[in-house]
Amino acid sequence: MQETIAVRHDAEGAAQEAIQRRLNATARQLERTRRVETARIRQRERLLRMLVETMAELGISGAELQAARRAYKQAADKK
Q: What 3-state DSSP class applies to 71? A: helix
pLDDT higher at 4 or 57:
57
Domain locations in the chain? Answer: 2-78
Residue 61: what are its φ and ψ, rounded to 5°? -85, 165
- Flag whether pLDDT at 4 surpasses 70: no
- 8: pLDDT confidence band, cut at 50, 70 and 90? low
User: What are the helix and strand counts (H, E) for the chain?
Assistant: 2, 0
Q: What is the DSSP letter of 59?
A: T
Give the confidence band of 11 by pLDDT, cuts at 50, 70, 90. confident
pTM over 0.75: no
Whether residue 35 contacts residue 29, with contact meaning beta carbons closer than 8 Å, is answered with no
Instruction: Say whether pLDDT at 31 is over 80.
Output: yes
> In terms of C-beta distances under 8 Å and separation of at least 24 residues, what long-range contacts does 18-27 make, across chains too?
none
